[in-house]
């Protein structure tokens, strides 16, 4: 049981940014990943999230090799991996209210959502007043809380955080970390933390892997 990238190389339009990287996230553990900008950290997250096809190597999810990406992966597998992106603004549909943003993955898979959304909104600290607003009317910190709730809504086995707290103030960052840690205590969720902040990784992650620029 694990989410693993085996010898993954990947890039965009022939330009390879990731070379033969192997990384494993076990259930319940928090893996830190650090590296300079341009070292392909975000690309690795996209490969692990089954959003980007690697040029070489492959991803296994709980022992099953996944050879497809995006919609070709069955929905039930996709929802086992949650992603928290760096920019909450880019990662939320500007037309939806925060409630709809959190509820959308459940609606998309035809599951009841009201109770789950209320529970998660409470845990990430979003008040009823904020939940009715659209992204442009809330701060980055508030929007990232909604994105965290959305990432957890399917109870994913693995959560990938791509510089997800870099643009947040210290208090919101600590809160996001606390919610994720709490979720790990409730059920064995594996977490990948991509960040360039060594202090943060030392404090939050169980172990830290490095990726170097080629």
Partner 1 sequence: MNALLRVEDLSVRFRLRDAVVQAVTDLNLSVRRGELLAVVGESGCGKSVLAHALLGLLPANATTTGHAFLDDIDLVHCGEKKLAREVRGRRIGLVPQSPATALTPVRTGRTLLAETLREHGRDAALATAIAADAGLDDTDLDRYPFQLSGGMAQRLVTALALASDPPLLIADEPTTGLDRPLVDHTLDVLRRRCDNGDAVLLITHDLAAAERVADTVAVMYASRIVEHRPAASVFKTAAHPYTAALLDALPDRAFQAIPGHPPMLTALPAGCAYAPRCPRADQQCATPPTGPVACHHPLVTS
Partner 2 sequence: MDKRDVTPAAVIGLAVAACLLVPVIWPLDQSAVALDNISQAPSLTDPGGTDDLGRDVLHRSLYGLRVSLLVGVVAALVATVLGGLIGGVAGLLGGWTDRILMRVIDTIAALPHLLLGIFIVAMLRPSLGAVVLSVALTHWLSTARIVRGELLSLRTRPFIDAAITGGASRARILTRHLLPHVLPKIALATTLMVPHAVWHETALSFLGLGLPPHLASLGNMINDGQRSLLTGAWWASIVPGLVIVTVTLAIAALAARWRDRLDPRVRAELEL
CA 76 remoteness from chain centre: 17
Q: Given the rule CB under 8 A, which of 4-12, 64-72, 109-117, 161-169 is the region that contacts partner 1?
A: 161-169
**CA-to-CA distance for 81 and 77, rounded, in angstroms?**
8
CB nearer to partner 2: pick between 62 and 206 = 62
Please select the residue that binds partner 1; options are 42, 97, 173, 184, rule is CB under 8 A.
Answer: 173
Contact criterion met (CB below 8 Å) for 147 and 89: no
Segment near partner 2 (CB under 8 A); pick from 21-29, 76-84, 114-122, 182-190: 76-84
Of residues 27 through 66, those in contact with partner 2 by CB under 8 A are: 46, 49-51
Candidates 4-12, 23-31, 44-52, 197-205: pick the segment binding partner 1 (CB under 8 A). 197-205
Q: Which is nearer to partner 2, 95 or 185 (CB)?
A: 95
In angstroms, the Cα distances linking 162 to 7, 16, 25, 95, 128 are: 20, 19, 14, 24, 28
- Residue 38 burial (C-beta neighbours within 10 Å; 0-12, 13-18, 19+): exposed
Residues 125 and 37: their CA atoms lie apart, in Å, by: 31
Asked if 75 touches partner 2 (CB under 8 A), the answer is: yes
Rounded Cα gap, residues 22 and 24, in angstroms: 7
| Partner from partner 2, partner 1, none binding residue 116, C-beta < 5-8 Å depending on class | none
> Rounded distance, CA 173 to CA 186, Å?
20
Of 81 and 168, which has the nearer Cβ to partner 1? 168
Q: Which tokens sit at 90? A: 């880019």
Shortest Å, Cβ 86 to partner 1: 8
| Distance in Å, CB of 160 to partner 2, minimum | 9
Using the 8-state DSSP alphabet, how is residue 33 labeled? E
How many of the other CB atoms lie within 10 Å of CB of 128?
10
Residues in binding contact with partner 1, number by CB under 8 A: 31
Residues that bind partner 2 (CB under 8 A): 46, 49-51, 70-71, 75-76, 78-79, 81-83, 85, 87, 90-95, 104-105, 108-109, 136-137, 139, 147, 150, 153-154
């Amino acid at each position: 049981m694990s989410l693993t990238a085996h010898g993954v190389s990947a890039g965009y339009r022939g330009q390879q940014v990731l070379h033969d990287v192997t990384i494993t996230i076990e259930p319940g553990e928090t893996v830190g990943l650090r590296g300079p900008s341009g070292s392909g950290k975000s690309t690795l997250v996209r490969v692990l999230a089954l959003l980007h096809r690697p040029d070489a190597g492959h991803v296994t999810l709980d022992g099953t090799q996944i050879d497809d990406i995006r919609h070709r992966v069955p929905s039930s597998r996709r929802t086992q991996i949650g992603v928290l992106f760096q920019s909450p603004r880019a990662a939320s549909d500007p037309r939806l209210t925060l409630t709809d943003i959190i509820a959308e993955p459940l609606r998309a898979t035809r599951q009841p959502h009201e109770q789950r959304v209320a529970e998660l909104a409470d845990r990430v600290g979003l008040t009823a007043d904020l939940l009715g607003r659209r992204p442009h009317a809330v701060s980055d910190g508030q929007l990232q809380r909604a994105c965290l709730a959305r990432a957890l809504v399917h109870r994913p086995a693995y959560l990938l955080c791509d510089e997800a707290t870099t643009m947040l103030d210290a208090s919101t960052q600590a809160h996001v970390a606390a919610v994720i840690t709490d979720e790990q205590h409730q059920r064995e969720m594996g977490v990948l933390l991509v960040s360039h902040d060594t202090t943060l990784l030392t404090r939050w992650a169980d172990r830290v892997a490095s990726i170097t620029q080629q």
